[in-house]
Structure 1
Amino acid sequence: MAPTAKQGQEVRRRLLAAAVELIPERGWSAVSTRILAERAGVTPSVVHYHFSSVQDVLTEAAITMMREVLAATDFTSAPTPAAAVDAMLGSIEQYDGTDPTSLLFTETYLAATRDEHLHAQIAALITEFRARLADWLAIHQVAEPAATAAVLAATIDGLLLHRTLGPESPHLTTVLRRLVS
């Protein structure tokens, strides 16, 4: 690969990394070309050389992070549906609702209410995750696997959103395990 292509990939990577930092710090709508360029250590014109708009940088950065978090939500090695619930709950333990990843998700969901393209990309991620979970639940003979997957996915999302608002129920795991029994 030519040095120029490598440099271009590095600049693009820095812009995306800066967006991942700035979305939770400032909020989606407060990230400007100037702020993004400054954080990435480039001139503002470079942002528009690599992306058609700041929104495109933010969207790609957020969707990539969301895809990584969903991929890391590994329930497939669990021996039982109850163990899968435990694995899913365990995968979100590191997020307290105020950490950068939680805030990135919250900001991105909010931005998706005003951006159809972002909305469609998030919907596709959720659909893929639900399908993967539903297929696994079907193999493990859980009743109504698609509906159960939708409820579990929404519950996990809701738990992350609610974490900053108050304590979780001590019986949450029991209730979710019952859902898959």
Structure 2
Amino acid sequence: MSFRLLFAAFAVSTLAGCATAPATCNSANSDASLIAKMQCDHSGGYSAQIRQREQELLDARAENELFHRVYEEISAQQQATRQSLDAQRQQQANLQQSLNSLLGQLKSRHASKSQVQQQIATLEQDLQRSPTSGGSAADIAARQQELKALQQKVSRLQLSLGYE
């Protein structure tokens, strides 16, 4: 009887010692055997998945924060249409800087997604064509319309990336 117990313990320890690549471990796999789960836990496969998902979450939070900053600056720009031309130019520069930062980060993070790259390119073209507004009422009204359109495009980009 003790020989069988010793043999079973040896077999389990031998199987548990087999190397398991972290990429093959999937914590959501409920069909995996107990030995496979032990191998993944022992080899650090589950820990690697957790670290990767935590990093993805941190990246997504940073991008979401940039989206919110852009929205705040668009709102500030909309409010600035009632202010002096100098204040409008300063807020336009702040908005441009935030948008460039956001678009640069999105370009590098989502380089493999052609639809996102196309939306980014369209936004960049629109920003280059957008003149700074003058002081007349017609210029202010036109700038408000441009800002509304910009806000809608940024919203579509944000939704296509899965952010809210």
Provide TM-score, normalisation by structure 1: 0.30
Which of the pair is proportionally richer in helix? 2
Which has the larger Rg? 2
Provide TM-score, normalisation by structure 2: 0.32
